[in-house]
Amino acid sequence: MTGHLGFPIETVAVFVIFSVGAIAIDLFAHKDDKPMTLKSAALWSVFWVLVSIAFGGFLWLHHGSEVASLFFTGYALEKVLSVDNLFLMMAVFAWFKVPDGLRHRVLYWGIIGAIIFRMIFVAIGAGLLALGPYVELVFALIVGWTAVMMLKQDDAEDENEDYSEHLAYRLVHKFFPVFPRLYGHHFFLRGDELAKAREAYPDVRLELAGEDVKHPENSHPHAMKKGQLVATPLFLCLAVIELSDVMFAFDSVPAVIAVSKEPLIVYSAMMFAILGLRTLYFVLEALKGYLVHLEKAVIVLLFFIAFKLGLSATNHLFHHGFEISANTSLLIVLVVLVLGVVASFIFPEKKDETKEN
């Protein structure tokens, strides 16, 4: 469907109630810093899928099967594309040595940021697509390029990356003094909290804003101001995750917009997919060694979406009459995902014995 769907205010209101209610449930259900068990994470993941199905069912009843198919296709795409982002988060958490109990807190604020940035990107992307088919071709190239880069990517790159060189890490160090030890679940320390942290770690030196320990030639430390916020490694970790997600959104938003140009469909699909990511993270952490062929399925889907965008753009330009329907897109996405999961269990990755020895 290429035209504007013109959703009534009732549909928008239902979306707002569903999304605000879901965020409130997530906020109050996971307030503590206890590690999440695999069973709990799996049950919560199922709950978020059911919430998404309920909203999709509402769309089906009130706007027809095609609209619901667009929603479910966008939802499945964003969910599976986010899996790669979750694997990146695992590498970031490992590098910063964030305990399991604190990861939930970082993920919560990371996902709130993702919801806000997706809203901005969807509004911009939908506005750009309204300019004409040539923009669709640009989006097709972006999605196709993402697939090519994923083909070339080394699985060990994220695990071996030095995140102290990350732009977000260096920006935080530029503007905030940093206490280089985790202290409870605090992102920032000030006053009494900073004093207690210094007592707990008397040998740890506070790094001033503008101080660059690894690159002394770039070091321009600023004196501490009274009452100034002092960042902790937990905030550094959150900053790296947020900026990485913003870069990830440049790839994922065009892919989901390719499914539908209606902003409500695109944003609702992305938001419901993102809401379940916090608990899905803990499920994937346990299953990381098993879903070895899922990324290949993601690459296939990106090439499919690039082809779909290109087909739609050339149809507008040359009127060849070939387009892929919403229901066909949904079927292709689901089949490719199922094949990726099934292949992971039938053809597990062989362990590299040379690395183990």
pLDDT digits 0-9 by tens, 17-31: 888 888 788 767 666
Let me know if residue 332 belongs to a domain. Answer: yes
Q: What is the pLDDT of residue 263?
A: 83
Q: What are residue 230's DSSP bridge partners?
A: 189
pLDDT at 157 exceeding the cut of 60: no
88-137 pLDDT per residue, tens: 788 889 889 888 888 888 888 888 888 888 888 888 887 777 777 788 78
- Number of domains comprising the chain: 1
Let me know if residue 221 belongs to a domain. Answer: no
Let me know if residue 350 belongs to a domain. Answer: yes
Let me know if residue 229 belongs to a domain. Answer: no
Per cent of the chain over pLDDT 90 is 9
Let me know if residue 238 belongs to a domain. Answer: no
Rounded CA separation 209/221 (Å): 6
158-197 pLDDT per residue, tens: 556 778 888 899 999 888 999 989 988 889 998 888 888 8
Let me know if residue 243 belongs to a domain. Answer: no
Tell which wins on pLDDT, 260 or 119.
119
Mean pLDDT over residues 275-299, rounded? Answer: 79
Question: CA dist 36 to 42, 43, 46, Å?
Answer: 10, 11, 15
Q: What is the pTM of this model?
A: 0.79
Let me know if residue 92 belongs to a domain. Answer: yes
The chain-wide mean pLDDT, for the chain, equals 81
Range of the domain at 288: 9-157+251-356
Q: What is the pLDDT of residue 305?
A: 83
Largest CA distance in the chain: 73
Q: What is the pLDDT of residue 235?
A: 94
Let me know if residue 54 belongs to a domain. Answer: yes
Which residues, other chains included, contact 48 with Cβ-Cβ below 8 Å and sequence gap of 6+? 22, 272, 275, 276, 279, 280
